[in-house]
Structure formats: structure tokens, C-alpha cells
Amino acid sequence: MARARLGPAALIGATCHADLDHAEAALAAGADYLAFGAVHASPSKPAAVVAGLAPIVAARARFNAPLVAIGGITAARAAACLAAGADWLAVISGVWGEPDPAAAVRAFQRVLAAHQSRAP
């Protein structure tokens, strides 16, 4: 439905929580990327079920689509998400919940740069 409304150029993702069957159905329906989480407890969505990194690891082995880690992602936790197979990080409190959001962004940039320098 989103693809029909937004057209072929839109980037459309599906939140899959920890459900790989839902992820497979979302890809079949035209999703461009898959989001998994909450990876950690998050003040943004305190009632979200914490799925950990296992769904990202399993999704990376099963799907050839960009994967997003969401939920409780901080700069200190970002490298583990990337190592598990996440391509992208969805972040709210990891930046806006920090005393110095600009410093938090710089910390994420350092983690991403270090990860990219190790990529094949």
C-alpha cells in the first residue's frame, strides 16, 4: 500500500521486531529495508519488547537487504549492532537524550568511521 501511494522511488522499510517470517513477507511485498528491535530497552518506547541482537544476526544470514537496528542504540552500543549485521542505526535517545547531542553525534560518527574502515 505504501509503495502504491509513494511510488517506486520511495525508500520503504518494515519494522519486524524479531520476526523473520514477517521480514520475509515485507520483502516480498516490496520493502526496501528491514528494521529489528528493540535491540535494548529504550526511553523512547519503554513498553517495547527487547529482542537483542539475535534477530539481526539471523536476518543477515537469511536476507540480502539493508538491516536497521532500532531501540536503545547509543554510541557505546553501536559497534555491536554493526558487527551483528546492521547496516543502519535508528537513533533517538542516543542523541537527543544525551547532555550534549552534538558530542553524541560525533561519537556515532567515530564508530561508523571505524566500522567502515574495517569493511572489506
* Architecture, CATH, for domain 2-118: Alpha-Beta Barrel (3.20)
Tell me the pLDDT tens digit for each residue of 90-112: 999 999 999 999 999 999 999 99
User: Domain segments of the chain: what residues?
Assistant: 2-118
Q: Which helix (H) or strand (E) holds 106?
A: helix 101-118
pLDDT (tens digit per residue) in 55-76:
999 999 999 999 999 999 999 9
User: Which pLDDT tens digit goes with each residue over 8-47?
Assistant: 999 999 999 999 999 999 999 999 999 999 999 999 899 9
Answer for the pair 80, 49: CB distance below 8 angstroms, yes or no. Answer: no
Do the beta carbons of residue 23 and residue 63 sit within 8 Å?
yes
